[in-house]
Structure 1
Amino acid sequence: MRYQSGQTAKLVEPNEMNFLPTSIVDSKRLSILVWNIFKQKRSECIHFLDTYANTTALLLLQEAQTTPQLINFIHRNHKIADQVPAYTFKDVYSGVMTVSNVTPINAIGFKEKEPLIRIPKSALITQYQLLENQKTLLVANIHAVNFSLGIKIYNQQIKLLLNQLATHEGPIILAGDFNSWSRQRLHILYRLIRMSNLKMVNFTSDMRKTFMGRPLDFVFYRDLAIDQAKIIHTDASDHNPLLVDFIIN
């Protein structure tokens, strides 16, 4: 689903292309915010998003729900938001959402059912034009499956997403809530990331959400340079957002 300022929500068809893309940036800098927003349960969530709406090129959100408050945020800040609904309840869709100032060249959605509770988690790949004569940027936003006894479905979901990135020639960002709370999950994640020639963003002051002592949120990248990366402490969600400023090579 696509939500756009001044327009009604629309269903984006598979392989629907934007043949007149606008560059996502107007300089060599690209700033992103990655955040599980906890279904907007806490009152300060939308205010926090407003704070970073004009200083980031991309907001990669997990557990985003299409409440009136979030839809108003999109319209008020003249944004374009693409969402893969994992599930719907009382006409409110929930899933990963990537928010930008421009329409992506294309978008591909994925869903994977939780093995135990059978409620899906979603992932989204969007592609954006960079500066004139530059290659395009591929952005993958994921909320990984959580409730499983083994690692088969987790491995399947991560591998499927990375297979979609493998053929892209140009910069890549892969980020989100990976639910990497076990040693086995972290091992799979790190192994697949190395095989895909992606690098991990490291944070000096690491205040990422953890479970069982392991971080859940990550940013991985390729063919970009890092200017700065930090984690912002907030009570607006049960996760702290990750803010990364990239330099386009």
Structure 2
Amino acid sequence: MFKKRCYTLRYQANNKVELIFPYQQIAVNRPLIDQTSFSILVWNIFKLKRADCIDILKNYADKTKLILLQEAQTTSPLLNFISQHNKIADHVPAYCFNDIYAGVMTISDSLPTSLFSFREKEPLIRVSKSALVTIYPISNSKQQLLVANIHAVNFSIGVKVYRQQIHLLLNHIKEHTGPVILAGDFNAWSRQRLNLLYHFVRSIELKPVNFLVDSRKRFMGRPLDFVFYRGLQLNAAEIISTTASDHNPLLVNFRLDLH
């Protein structure tokens, strides 16, 4: 049995908000990936506090198959963006304030076949961080693409809760036999956190995306945002410099490697 709080909110054009639970059957009418190459955008959008944030999303709406957001808030500008671009957004509300939900959001062009949401409370401030696993069909393949979007806990003494959150997510990923993308804001600002993160991703054979010009958001000298992958070929990776958030978006292009 899953906990009642393990739900996801789905937003799409001309539909009411849906409540989606783990293992719920989802009727999928088309694959997400129907060509050999595709792009994703990964971005902590700083609770949409800055006006030009939506402009960045609009610029990459038609250039990407997936947009993985952290600190996404269900404000009118973001929901209008989803509707106007005919996107499907699955959102894991970590907390709610003034009827606005905040948490990770995965935006795509088509429905996932299944999804699983995760929440972990910050040990010190007692506000949750969230993570989401979505699984998408691939055209002309029995395999499916697993996409994991995470905003890791930040304010903690030691790494016990950090380990718990990432271990829970990776346990789910390791059971998947097809291609995998794991990305988000990992808050890996200490040597202990960074070493733990790399230990975990190596244990399930994920590789990191490296950036030739690395302008990722850093804290205490260490990058916070990462993309890891498996069962895919990396075509290109760049970081988009912007003042629309306190993080820079990561733009990555992959090629299917299903043979």
Q: Smaller-chain TM-score range?
A: over 0.9
**Does the alignment pair 1:74 with 2:91?**
no
Task: Note if contact 1:42-1:236 (Cα within 8 Å) is conserved in structure 2.
Answer: yes
Equivalent residue, structure 2, for 1:57: 65
Task: Note if contact 1:21-1:104 (Cα within 8 Å) is conserved in structure 2.
Answer: no
Task: Note if contact 1:84-1:97 (Cα within 8 Å) is conserved in structure 2.
Answer: yes
Q: 2:225 aligns with which of 217, 224, 238?
A: 217
CA distance in 2, matches of 1:21, 1:86: 29
**Does the alignment pair 1:235 with 2:247?**
no
Identity %: 57
Range that drifts further, 24-33 or 135-144:
24-33
Equivalent residue, structure 1, for 2:112: 104
**Aligned Cα RMSD in Å?**
0.8
Range that drifts further, 21-30 or 152-161:
21-30
SS of residue paired to 1:32: strand
SS of residue paired to 1:11: strand
CA distance in 1, matches of 2:54, 2:96: 20
Equivalent residue, structure 2, for 1:142: 150
**Does the alignment pair 1:24 with 2:38?**
no
Range that drifts further, 24-33 or 205-214:
24-33
CA distance in 1, matches of 2:51, 2:136: 32
**Does the alignment pair 1:125 with 2:127?**
no
Task: Note if contact 2:96-2:102 (Cα within 8 Å) is conserved in structure 1.
Answer: yes
Cα shift readout 1:34-90 (whole Å, capped 9, x = no counterpart): 000000000000011000001100000000000001000000000000000000001
CA distance in 2, matches of 1:193, 1:65: 28
CA distance in 2, matches of 1:122, 1:176: 11
In structure 2, give the amino acid aligned to 1:203: F
Q: 2:183 aligns with which of 151, 172, 175?
A: 175
SS of residue paired to 1:124: strand
TM-score by length of 1: 0.99
- Structure 2, unaligned stretches of length 5 or more? 1-8
Q: CA deviation at 1:134?
A: 4.0
Q: 2:23 aligns with which of 15, 32, 47?
A: 15
CA distance in 1, matches of 2:246, 2:141: 41
- Structure 1 runs of 4+ aligned residues shifted over 2 Å read none
Q: CA deviation at 1:131?
A: 1.4
Q: CA deviation at 1:13?
A: 2.0
Cα shift readout 1:155-196 (whole Å, capped 9, x = no counterpart): 110110000001101100000000000000001001111111
* Alignment: residue pair count: 249
SS of residue paired to 1:181: coil
TM-score by length of 2: 0.95
